[in-house]
């Protein structure tokens, strides 16, 4: 299971798709974030899709959802140890984005 | 366009989904590869989906398709400058895969 082929496939099965990485990246840069703020930062995502993706990420232990019993209730999302470890992946993506297409 | 939000979203729009990164990774480690060999390496992909993904990657100038006029014709796939630059992303994914879930 630890050869590169499986590693990349495991990654894309877990984090593939358009939204999960941008959502994690938004939370990462703010430590904790509320739903409305994530919705504002992640460009073009609908509230419905964001709700689904947050649930999937929470289920997969890549984000933590904390609800504070206030009126109105406040919900904040933060990263887990595993998703905080994506820092280097984001750095590599950022570097890659600056390579010219030709 | 060059802030991090867009960078990650551009990446996932271009390379998101389950198969593109594993396909590029397979070719990367072999310099050039034929269809049958990619199909063998990328675990669980169907020939139909592989055909579609290779076409999309070629269209997006992330792989090069070269056909040699032999009988039977030989087709080989290789990476472009842009997709060769994903090397660090693969390294970061590999490192990330070794972080423990908790």
CATH number for A73? 1.10.10.10
> Within a domain: residue A51?
yes
> Within a domain: residue A38?
yes
Alpha helices (H) in A1-102, listed in sequence order:
4-15, 20-28, 35-41, 47-59, 81-84, 87-97
Which ipTM score applies to this complex? Answer: 0.88
Min Cα–Cα distance to chain A from B23, Å: 9
Numbered residues of chain A with Cβ closer than 8 Å to any chain B Cβ = 2, 4-13, 16-22, 25-26, 29, 41-44, 61, 80-82, 85-86, 88-97, 99-102
Domain that holds residue B44: 18-96
pTM: predicted TM-score of the whole model, two decimal places: 0.89
For the segment A66-95, what is each residue's pLDDT rounded down to a tens digit?
Answer: 999 888 889 999 999 999 999 999 999 999
> Within a domain: residue A73?
yes
Nearest-CB residue to B96 (from A42, A43, A89): A89
Query: Which three-class secondary structure state does DSSP give residue B101?
Result: coil
> Within a domain: residue A6?
no
DSSP state of B40: H
Domain count, chain B: 1
DSSP state of B1: -
> Within a domain: residue B11?
no
Q: How high is the pLDDT of residue A64?
A: 97
> B72 preceded by cis ω (within 30°)?
yes
Burial class, A53, CB count within 10 angstroms (exposed 0-12 / middle 13-18 / buried 19+): buried
pLDDT at B22 over 80: yes
Return the structure tokens found at B7: 């960078």
A37 or A4, greater pLDDT: A37
> Within a domain: residue B2?
no
Cα separation, B64 vs A37, in Å, equals 41
> Within a domain: residue B58?
yes
pLDDT at B5 over 50: no
Question: What residue of B is the nearest CA neighbor of A80?
Answer: B102
> Within a domain: residue B31?
yes
Return the structure tokens found at B32: 């050039």
């Amino acid at each position: 299971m630890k050869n590169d082929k499986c590693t990349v496939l495991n990654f894309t099965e877990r984090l593939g798709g358009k939204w999960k990485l941008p959502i994690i990246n938004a939370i990462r840069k703010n430590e904790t974030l509320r739903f409305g703020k994530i919705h504002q930062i992640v460009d073009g995502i609908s509230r419905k899709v964001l709700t689904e993706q947050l649930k999937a990420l929470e289920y997969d232990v890549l984000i933590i959802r904390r609800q504070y019993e206030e009126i109105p209730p406040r919900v904040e999302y933060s990263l887990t140890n595993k998703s905080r470890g994506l820092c280097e992946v984001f750095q590599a993506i950022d570097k890659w984005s600056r390579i010219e297409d030709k």
